[in-house]
């Protein structure tokens, strides 16, 4: 993680990942309410300068990275996970080849 970026952008991305993880009812989840409450509690006002906001922003960015990585891992796992034995024709098709046709229509 090189740069954190804006806290609002991190919050929106975090809520988007929660929506991917929980589905349509993500606004009813405890994680959604906790994230919003934490961001509201650590915002900077004119009365205080809060160092904890940077800490919260870093933790949120780290959690966002975790959620995004888990989602992408599951997508890759679904796409490339073995489905048992494949036929030679199917295996050749995966790498972009076609098997030669045998004379007499056998292949």
Check whether 61 has a pLDDT greater than 80.
yes
Asked if residue 97 belongs to a domain, the reply is no
* DSSP state letters, 28-96: GSHHHHHHHHHHHHT--BTTB--THHHHHHHHHHHHHHHHHHHHHHHHHHHHHS--S---HHHHHHHTT
Looking at residue 2, what is its pLDDT?
55
Confidence of residue 95 (pLDDT cuts 50, 70, 90): confident
Please indicate, yes or no, if residue 107 is contained in any of the structural domains: no
Residue 23, pLDDT > 90, answer: no
Task: Report the alpha-carbon distance of residue 28 to residue 33 in Å, rounded.
Answer: 8
Question: Is 37 among the domain residues?
Answer: yes
Q: What pLDDT sits at residue 105?
A: 62
Q: Is residue 38 assigned to a domain?
A: yes
Give the model's pLDDT for residue 93.
Answer: 87
Residue 33 lies in a domain: yes
For 70, the domain range is 7-83
Residue 41 lies in a domain: yes
Is there a domain that residue 11 lies in? yes
Q: In 10 A of CB 79, how many CB atoms?
A: 7
Instruction: State the Cα angle at 60 between 6 and 71, rounded to 5°.
Output: 105
Give the best-scoring range by mean pLDDT among 30-39, 62-71, 74-83.
62-71
Domains contained in the chain, number: 1
């Amino acid at each position: 993680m090189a740069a954190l970026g804006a806290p609002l952008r991190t919050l929106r991305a975090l809520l988007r990942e929660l929506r991917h993880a929980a589905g349509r009812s993500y606004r009813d989840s405890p994680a959604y309410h906790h994230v919003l409450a934490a961001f509201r509690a650590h915002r900077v006002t004119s009365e205080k300068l809060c160092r904890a906001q940077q800490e919260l922003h870093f933790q949120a960015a780290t959690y966002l990275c975790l959620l995004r990585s888990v989602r992408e891992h599951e997508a890759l796992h679904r796409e490339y996970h073995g489905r048992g034995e494949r036929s030679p024709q199917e295996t050749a098709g995966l790498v972009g080849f076609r098997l030669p046709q045998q004379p007499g229509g056998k292949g």
